[in-house]
Chain A
Amino acid sequence: DTGVSQDPRHKITKRGQNVTFRCDPISEHNRLYWYRQTLGQGPEFLTYFQNEAQLEKSRLLSDRFSAERPKGSFSTLEIQRTEQGDSAMYLCASSLWGTANTEAFFGQGTRLTVV
């Protein structure tokens, strides 16, 4: 499977705990995006990387959220001191920027439930 892979698919955590999600993009893609989606809404942009550089962060990304893409390949999204409002689907996408094909392809998402 050469698509975008996210792990885990589901995560249930207690309020106040830290969680970390991983995203493996399509191998030749230089851009990687994180989105959050709540029930009945469209995905909301959180942050994106070009190679290992984090180029933009949304105001939605509070200080409790941090994302990394250390070698320009996989990325991690960590949420510290989780709150019930963090419950959502976290989606990762990748694209090949700089060519004519700029489609963004999404993974299956990580569904986070904070109890």
Chain B
Amino acid sequence: SQQGEEDPQALSIQEGENATMNCSYKTSINNLQWYRQNSGRGLVHLILIRSNEREKHSGRLRVTLDTSKKSSSLLITASRAADTASYFCATGETSGSRLTFGEGTQLTVNP
């Protein structure tokens, strides 16, 4: 079963705009990770944020985590056509046994 729920399911923006995707989850977590997946390919790890962190940056990516609301957001600034992909959040359980994925947000960046 999926723990995370991404919102929106699909997002279409113009190149240069910012894209924000949200993820909600249900149980206590050790960490939350964001992945990108191009069509038919494997998942590329983007960023990991630990449960005791509130914000993290990596290049054009900004991730926030609110454990009280059990939610996270991924912001991609100054989007490019190459950012077109599906984005998934995955929660790492406190037991450390597995990552549980949401159903993803399909991002389309129009040139």
Answer yes or no: do A and B interact.
yes
Q: Which residues of A contact B (CB under 8 A)?
A: 4, 6, 33, 35, 40-45, 48, 55-56, 89, 91, 93, 97, 102-109, 111
Instruction: For the complex, give the distance between the alpha carbons of A111 and B40 in Å.
Output: 9
Q: Which residues of B contact A (CB under 8 A)?
A: 2, 4, 30-31, 33, 35, 40-45, 48, 88, 90, 92, 96-104
Q: Is the interface of B mostly helix, strand, loop or mixed?
A: strand
Task: Determine whether the beta carbon of A108 is less than 8 Å from that of B41.
Answer: yes
What would 4 more interface pairs be, CB under 8 Å, given A91-B42, A104-B90? A42-B101, A105-B45, A106-B35, A106-B43
Instruction: For the complex, give the distance between the alpha carbons of A56 and B100 in Å.
Output: 14
Q: Tell me which residues across on chain B come within 8 A of A106, comparing CB atoms.
A: 35, 42-45
Task: Determine whether the beta carbon of B43 is less than 8 Å from that of A91.
Answer: yes
